[in-house]
């Protein structure tokens, strides 16, 4: 049996080590990853090369410190290194190398159309070219592992579609080389909005108090953010007419407990928002309490974390390097020796 017919389907995903991880990252990405571990062969990377595209985000805390923090948060969320390969993107050189090949086959117009590029380049005063070519690097992350599925929040769907298009274009130009990946978006929690402004996606780069529920925020800070979350001028829940703020709280609740939004809403129908918020504080705390405890243990044992990341990088290289070699050969690079 060939290697490809023997193995389980693969997933690859990653989080940028910029800003502080929040409940959106947890519900959109980490929780899915944790639950997929037995079904798939898993590769989860901390995408530090991507974080360089917005240097302001990483300057304050230091990129290396953030990289370790994110890796520890993967494990604290239940990613098990015995079942999943956890590694740091920049430690597997094939990512940067394949990114160059893919940059060369990505039409400029495709990159300029990306929503993330348009939003981030609008606000930044001097934008590095990496912000534009960012999706080619992300395509490299995915294609190197021949990932079948890419579990992400809704905001990343466009990038995965681009990775698919770039893979197809490379295959057309140079012959069949890459497998085409699919996005995998959870049914609830795929787009968590800011608690202070439910029209805006909860974001790592917004540090205003009350905006996000940080995975490492102390319980009193989490409680305050939820109790102050924007709802609407009504005082009781009417699900059929719920405002974006109320819908956001209900969907966070549903994603955490694994219920449907309708089931959660039915419990609070006709009751004051205070009840919903108080129970949501408990549900969030129920998930974050063990996560914080495990995180603290992991950070107290850097040897273990480094061993996991060393082994992860080695395993990742063993999968990525043959795929890179195939792509280089297809494109006619080097001398074939
Ligand atoms: P990043 O670091 O912005 O976010 C990490 C993951 O969290 C999800 N997410 C959310 N989900 C629900 N609600 C939100 N408010 C929310 N905010 C973020 C994201 O969808 C993502 O799944 N480009 C990627 C990182 C990346 C990547 C990859 C992902 C680089 N290479 C390869 C998958 C495969 C990013 O910036 O994610």
Along the 337 residues of the chain, how does pLDDT read in single tens digits? 455 556 899 999 999 999 899 999 999 999 999 999 999 999 999 999 999 988 776 666 799 999 999 999 999 999 999 999 999 999 999 999 999 999 999 999 999 999 988 888 877 667 889 999 999 999 999 999 999 999 999 999 999 999 999 999 999 999 999 999 999 999 999 999 999 999 999 999 888 999 999 999 999 999 999 999 999 888 899 999 999 999 999 999 999 999 999 999 999 999 999 999 999 999 999 999 999 999 999 999 999 999 999 999 999 999 999 999 999 999 999 998 7
**CB of 50 shorter than 6 A to ligand 1:** yes
CA 253 to chain centre: 20
66: annotated active-site residue: no
Instruction: Determine the length of the chain.
Output: 337
So what's the pLDDT on residue 337? 79
Give Cα separations from 327 to 47, 149, 152 (angstroms): 22, 20, 26
Q: What are the b/e assignments for 148-167, b being 16+ CB within 10 Å?
A: bbbbbbebbbebbebbbbbb
The preferred substitution site among 139, 153, 184, 191 for testing ligand 1, maximizing ligand atoms within 8 Å of CB, is 153
CB atoms within 10 A of CB 102: 24
So what's the pLDDT on residue 1? 44
59: annotated active-site residue: no
**CB of 192 shorter than 6 A to ligand 1:** yes
Distance 157 CA to ligand 1 centre (A): 9
Distance 98 CA to ligand 1 centre (A): 21
So what's the pLDDT on residue 291? 98
Here the contacts of 132-136 (C-beta below 8 Å, separation 24 or greater) are 133/99, 133/103, 133/106, 134/50, 134/53, 135/106, 135/111, 135/159, 135/162, 135/163, 135/166, 136/99, 136/102, 136/103, 136/106, 136/111, 136/166
CATH 3.40.50.620 domain extents, the chain: 3-185+301-331
Residue 214 dihedral angles phi and psi, to the nearest 5°:
-75, 140
Class of the CATH domain delimited by 3-185+301-331: alpha beta
So what's the pLDDT on residue 66? 94
Domain 219-296 listed as CATH 1.10.3720.10:
no
So what's the pLDDT on residue 181? 98
CATH 1.10.240.10 domain extents, the chain: 219-296
**CB of 212 shorter than 6 A to ligand 1:** no
Q: Are strands 149-151 and 182-184 parallel, antiparallel or unpaired?
A: parallel
């Amino acid at each position: 049996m060939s290697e490809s017919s023997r193995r389980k389907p693969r997933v690859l995903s990653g989080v940028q080590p910029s800003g502080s991880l929040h409940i959106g990252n947890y519900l959109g990405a980490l929780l899915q990853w944790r639950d997929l571990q037995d079904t798939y062969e898993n590769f989860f990377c901390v995408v530090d090369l991507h974080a360089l595209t917005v240097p302001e985000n990483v300057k304050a805390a230091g990129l290396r410190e953030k990289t370790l923090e994110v890796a520890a948060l993967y494990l604290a969320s239940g990613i098990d290194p015995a079942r999943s390969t956890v590694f740091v993107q920049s430690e597997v050189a094939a990512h940067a190398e394949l990114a160059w090949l893919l940059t060369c086959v990505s039409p400029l117009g495709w990159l300029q159309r990306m929503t993330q590029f348009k939003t981030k380049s609008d606000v930044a005063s001097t934008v590095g070219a990496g912000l534009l070519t960012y999706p080619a690097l992300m395509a490299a992350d995915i294609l190197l592992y021949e990932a079948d599925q890419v579990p992400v929040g809704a905001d990343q769907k466009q990038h995965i579609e681009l990775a698919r298009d770039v893979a197809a274009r490379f295959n057309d130009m140079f012959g069949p080389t890459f497998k085409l990946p699919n996005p995998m978006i959870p049914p609830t929690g795929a787009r968590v909005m800011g608690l202070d402004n439910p029209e805006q996606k909860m974001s790592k780069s917004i540090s205003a108090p009350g905006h996000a529920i940080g995975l490492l925020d102390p319980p009193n800070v989490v409680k305050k953010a939820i109790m102050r979350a924007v709802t609407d001028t009504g005082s009781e829940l009417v699900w059929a007419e719920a405002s974006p703020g109320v819908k956001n709280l209900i969907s966070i609740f549903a994603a955490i407990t694994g219920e449907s939004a309708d089931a959660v809403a039915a419990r609070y129908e006709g009751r004051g928002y205070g009840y919903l918020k108080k129970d949501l504080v408990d549900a969030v705390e129920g998930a974050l309490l063990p996560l914080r405890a495990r995180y603290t243990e992991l950070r107290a044992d850097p040897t273990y974390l480094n061993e996991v990341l060393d082994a992860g990088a080695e395993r990742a290289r063993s999968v990525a390097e043959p795929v890179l070699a195939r792509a280089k050969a297809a494109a006619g690079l080097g001398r074939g020796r």
